[in-house]
Amino acid sequence: MQSLKDQTLHQFDRIVVIHNVGSLGPMNQCTNDLTDINVWHDYYDLNVFVPAILNGVIMQIFNEKTNTEKLVVNITSLYGTKPGKYLSYYCSGKAAREMFFKVFAVENPEINVLNYSPGPVETDMYYEICNDLADKQVKTEFKDMLTKKTVLTCEQTVNRLLMVLKEQKYKSGDHVDYYDEL
Ligand SMILES: NC(=O)c1ccc[n+]([C@@H]2O[C@H](COP(=O)([O-])OP(=O)(O)OC[C@H]3O[C@@H](n4cnc5c(N)ncnc54)[C@H](OP(=O)(O)O)[C@@H]3O)[C@@H](O)[C@H]2O)c1
């Protein structure tokens, strides 16, 4: 960010910001056992506070004076709208982060904001769920998607994201899932 401050910001016609960072947090305790505030702090620091603050810093740099067109994509999840057992950190963090970007969208109507939910994608995170989630039924469902090869590749979900962005059929701030028909 410091290096950007030294640039001539006017040379950027447009910026694209993708908030992709994400972690699952511990997946072996139910809500009543989540009493260690340090674990909550660590989880929310990475998954909610850092994206929110980073976004603010970028918007302060590319402010109204630079007249830069802005696209901001928050990578969210179905689990930001649907509860999953033993996934309190992940579900609540995704919901909070998504709502932050919805507020950001209504406050900044000139900025194009998308909350994109990429579907089940074969990444390290996906294998973490297959290995560590305490909910055996959901764990089995995730493993089944691997064996049946119905899990998505990164390429598939990125192509869908590009299509969603190209078609522009969503309203700024909306949650759009890989499987949504727009
Ligand atoms: N995979 C799925 O099925 C799925 C479904 C719905 C939503 N998502 C969302 O998609 C996004 C990407 O997840 P993924 O599946 O690609 O998971 P992943 O393979 O575990 O990648 C996580 C990403 O977060 C970064 N990250 C994790 N911990 C970090 C830390 N302490 N400091 C800095 N960066 C850190 C990683 O950076 P490094 O590569 O540098 O480690 C990586 O870019 C996440 O927001 C996730 O919630 C994934």
Q: How far is CA 21 from CA 49, 150, 166, in A?
A: 11, 24, 23
Please tell me if the CB atom of residue 168 comes closer than 6 angstroms to any atom of ligand 1: no
| Structural domain containing residue 83 | 2-120+155-177
Predicted confidence (pLDDT) at residue 6 exceeds the cutoff of 70 = no
Kindly report the protein residue whose alpha carbon is nearest to atom 26 of ligand 1: 21
The answer as to whether 141 is a domain residue is: no
The answer as to whether 125 is a domain residue is: no
The answer as to whether 62 is a domain residue is: yes
For the chain, give the percent of residues with pLDDT over 90. Answer: 91
The answer as to whether 103 is a domain residue is: yes
Predicted confidence (pLDDT) at residue 116 exceeds the cutoff of 80 = yes
The answer as to whether 88 is a domain residue is: yes
In this prediction, residues 31-43 reach a mean pLDDT of 98
The answer as to whether 144 is a domain residue is: no
Please tell me if the CB atom of residue 20 comes closer than 6 angstroms to any atom of ligand 1: yes
62: domain CATH number?
3.40.50.720
pLDDT band at 10 (very low <50, low <70, confident <90, very high): confident
How far out from the chain centre does Cα 13 lie?
25
Predicted confidence (pLDDT) at residue 7 exceeds the cutoff of 80 = no
Kindly report the average pLDDT of the chain as a whole number: 96
The answer as to whether 132 is a domain residue is: no
CB neighbour list of residue 43: distance below 8 Å, 6 or more residues apart: 23, 25, 89, 93
Please tell me if the CB atom of residue 150 comes closer than 6 angstroms to any atom of ligand 1: no
Per-residue confidence (pLDDT) for residue 9, from 0 to 100: 85
Predicted confidence (pLDDT) at residue 3 exceeds the cutoff of 80 = no
Please tell me if the CB atom of residue 126 comes closer than 6 angstroms to any atom of ligand 1: yes
Please tell me if the CB atom of residue 22 comes closer than 6 angstroms to any atom of ligand 1: yes
Whole-number Å distance between alpha carbons of 21 and 4: 21
The answer as to whether 147 is a domain residue is: no
Whole-number Å distance between alpha carbons of 68 and 10: 8
pLDDT band at 8 (very low <50, low <70, confident <90, very high): confident
Predicted confidence (pLDDT) at residue 1 exceeds the cutoff of 70 = no
Domain count for the chain, please give it. Answer: 1
Query: What is the position in ligand 1's atom list of the atom closest to the CA of 94?
Result: 47
Query: Torsion angle, CA of 160/82/103/101, rounded to 10 degrees?
Result: -40
